[in-house]
Chains A and B, each alone.
Chain A
């Protein structure tokens, strides 16, 4: 250990913990409260889409939003770019 490292400040582990938690908690809150069938629905939709278009699994987004008593299931599929003819 060099003398300099004595003076160099160590990464603050509490702030690392906070940042990691902030991300994982936000992610888990987002998927919480949705119906239990949502992950399966996502997988099956993906299989169907895959029959026709070769999409990346990450390109299928499913969101459930609640507003004024209505539930809106939003499905977005980013299609791969067409190769130039």
Chain B
């Protein structure tokens, strides 16, 4: 059985691509066959975050148009054998993605016995975002504890409940999860940032992960190595937990509190 998971948010810049890359790596590291697809047609980015930008020959739209076979366009990850990337096209043609085209590509991946297909949605609620979520079985809604991100997420939840294959055909709907990123426990403690509980209460969804704000996320994207592979990073551990929860493990949320700093650290900074 192949499970199709959309990583979406509405608002841009909240960490969809970072999350798609890390979740895909985490699943592949557990031996699952994973394909991660960039739906942001025109603005290809997932390849950079995955570190395979120089190996893109064919893209998503090439496969849809029949310019190449699906296998030719799937880029095999150099680190994880079961992980594959399908890059977005850089075409400016807004109609390059079609429902039928996307369905054919997904069917091809299902026939190829992939365990997971991660759809990295573009920001907004236009066609790319619509098609990224349309065939999903599950949705990971990435949200920052910030007003505009939370409001946009709620809008996306509305679309997931009404404009997806599962909701239209009454197949029990899309299973939805929240994933908070850029979480800053110190600011939450000071009352300057909404807490996990606040966001959970407003959106009324279960939380699959909380990723603390971390300099490691930028370093990882600089290097083209998904942050989940940064061994000593809290952000990596948080993504690893989220992957485990996605697979049904029950783990308590971590990194919700500021790490206790010793006397010297407090005196001399660091």
Q: Which residues of chain A have a CB within 8 Å of any CB of chain B?
A: 12-15, 17-18, 20-22, 24-25, 28-29, 32-33
Contacts and interface: CB of A to CB of B under 8 A. Distances in A.
B191 A29 contact: no
A13 to B, nearest CB: 6
A29 B146 CA distance: 19
A24 B193 contact: no
B151 A14 contact: no
Contact of B155 (A12, A14, A18, A28): A28
16 contacts: A13-B191, A13-B192, A14-B194, A14-B198, A15-B191, A18-B198, A18-B202, A21-B147, A21-B150, A21-B151, A22-B202, A25-B202, A29-B158, A32-B158, A33-B158, A33-B162
Contacts of A12: 191
B188 interface: yes
Interface residues of B, number: 18
Interface string B152-169: 001100100010000000
* Dominant secondary structure at the A interface: helix
B195 A14 contact: yes
Contact of B191 (A14, A21, A22, A33): A14
Contacts of A29: 154, 158
